Amino acid sequence: MSLEGKSIAILIAPRGTEEPEFVQPKQAVEHAGAEVTVISLEGGTAKTNNKDLDPGGEYAIDKTFADVSADAFDGLIIPGGCVGADKLRAADDAIAFVKAFFDQKKPVAVICHGPWLLVEADVVDGRRLTSFSSIRTDIENAGGSWVDEEVVVDEGLVTSRKPDDLPAFCAKLVEEFAEGRQAGA
């Protein structure tokens, strides 16, 4: 499936994003031909984590939230990692950026603790999704229907639970990004 001509945004926290949940989806969309922009709270580089506690790699940040608009992108990837997701959900500009994708009915792929940003953006009400199990109550309290499945698609929203789900998550997000805007999203 080709993503030639598509522009995809991927979020990363200054520190604490789960490395495989950042690297593998990014590689999947690049391999399918998309142009990927790494977006964070501040410029420079960001350090990832593995299993939330172990140091990961360091990755270049292309743009900050102040420099971008959802209008410029065809899809959004939100990796997990409880530390990184918590930092991002506390930033108003990050939440406004995420919400804009839903307002524009563009596909969004979110894994692990990433749905915390969806809760903050107030976009889970009435949706079916999954996440890391510890944030199930947050999703349900926000009106979402939480399920324990490897990958869930709900009108352009792709969600998965954890790094073990990455192969299915990456395959499905490429498919949804290729389909583009969702009428009911």
How many Cα neighbours within 13 Å face the side chain of 131?
30
Annotated active-site residue 113? The verdict is yes
Pick the catalytic residue from 31, 82, 113, 170. Answer: 113
How many Cα neighbours within 13 Å face the side chain of 164?
5
Q: How far apart are CA 173 and CA 76, in angstroms?
A: 10
Q: How far apart are CA 147 and CA 169, in angstroms?
A: 15
Task: State the DSSP string of 154-176.
Answer: ETTEEEE-SGGGHHHHHHHHHHH
Annotated active-site residue 82? The verdict is no
| Tally of CB atoms within 10 A around 31 | 11
Pick the catalytic residue from 31, 82, 112, 170. Answer: 112
Name the residues annotated as catalytic. 112-113
